[in-house]
Structure 1
Amino acid sequence: MSNTTKPPIWFWVVSSVALVWNLMGVFNYLNQAYNQEAILESLTQAQREVFEGIPAWATAAFAIAVFSGAIASIALFLRKKWAKPLFVVSLVAAVAQFIHWLFISNAVEAFGSSTYLLPILVVVIGLFLVFFSKKGIQKGWLN
């Protein structure tokens, strides 16, 4: 038997924001995967070369990050503790993707120093969601 406690209202607020955040990631992935021509037309030549040079493993990491994050967010609503390992998978995949984007490709040179902002934000939010789900398990909100 598992002992669950009713979560506070702010749990549902954070879970809602997490779901919206991760669905935005899914939308961005799908846009990148299925709208490449429009994206490429909006880029400079240097940016286009970076975008076209993204290897399959980095694209796969992007997909794993956003879809596991979205499923983990749904798990929060279902109050399931398997949200935590999915958030961990999402975070690890995002870090792998950003290692390529920031340190292997020429993205920083092509897009500028602001290229660091989104990866930092994604990793911070990812760490928070892992911590949040861990606390949910400890408090008995997730079973």
Structure 2
Amino acid sequence: MTEDGEQPPVWYYVVGGVLALWSAIGCYFCYMQFIHGAEAMGPATAYDLQLYASMPAWYNYVFALAVITGLLGAIGLLTRSRAVRILFIVSLVAAVIQFGYLFATTDVIAHKGAGATLPFPILIIAIGIFSVWFAGLAKKREYLRP
């Protein structure tokens, strides 16, 4: 062991890199949503426009919090920062708030169907849970700097 903790194996950096890429893509789509609103993913239906217009102002900021803290957490993994776990926890909580609000207060599932609406948010939450777990593993194995 070095004074900076155990030197992580290559797979650790691969996972950190994939999480950083994933989060950077999320930041891009968040930026696009701020700029283009409901049409961030292409032409929006009348339902999409109405749904987006009905969202509270804080909704986009929670999205931004989720993706930015996720990106900072992933960069923290690559730099072996001790702050990674809390960053990933904040990211996960923000994503749960974002999707929880969407599904609890709108009729999006009834309108578009569960098959079209739920898989991607479930994937996002699963990756968030994995990120928190992975940060814990990195700390346990002493891959993070003291």
Q: TM-score, normalised by structure 2?
A: 0.90
Name the residue aligned to 1:121.
123
Task: Give the secondary structure class of the aligned counterpart of 2:80.
Answer: coil
How has the CA–CA distance of structure 1 residues 133 and 55 changed in structure 2, closer, same or farther, with 3 Å as cutoff? same
What secondary structure is seen at the aligned counterpart in 1 of 2:118? helix
CA contact (8 A) 2:38 2:44 kept: no
Matches of 2:86 and 2:122 in 1, distance apart?
21
User: Please, which runs of 5 or more residues in structure 1 have no aligned partner?
Assistant: none
Question: Structure 1 residue 135 and structure 2 residue 137: aligned?
Answer: yes
Gaps (5+ residues) in structure 2? none
* Counterparts of 2:42 and 2:88, CA distance in 1: 34
Supply the AA of the counterpart residue of 2:44: L
* Counterpart code for 2:107: N
Counterpart-to-counterpart distance in 2, 1:65 and 1:138: 24
1:47–1:107: 8 Å Cα contact kept in structure 2? no
Q: Post-superposition shift, 1:60?
A: 1.6
1:19-69 Cα shifts (integer Å, max 9, x gaps): 011011101100000123744971221121111111122212101000000
- 1:62 touches 1:94 (CA, 8 Å); kept in 2? yes
Percent pairwise identity = 30
Contact 1:47–1:111 (CA under 8 A) maintained in structure 2: no
The question of whether the paired residues in 1 share the 8 Å contact of 2:13 and 2:78 is answered with yes
Q: TM-score, normalised by structure 1?
A: 0.92
> 2:117, 2:38 → 1: CA distance?
21
Which residue number in structure 1 is paired with residue 74 of structure 2? 73
* Aligned pairs, number: 143
Q: Which is further off, 11-20 or 113-122?
A: 113-122
1:96 match: secondary structure: helix
The Cα RMSD (Å) is 1.9
Alpha-carbon displacement from aligned partner over 1:81-139 (angstroms, at most 9, x marks no partner): 10110000000000000011112122223433221111100111000000000110010
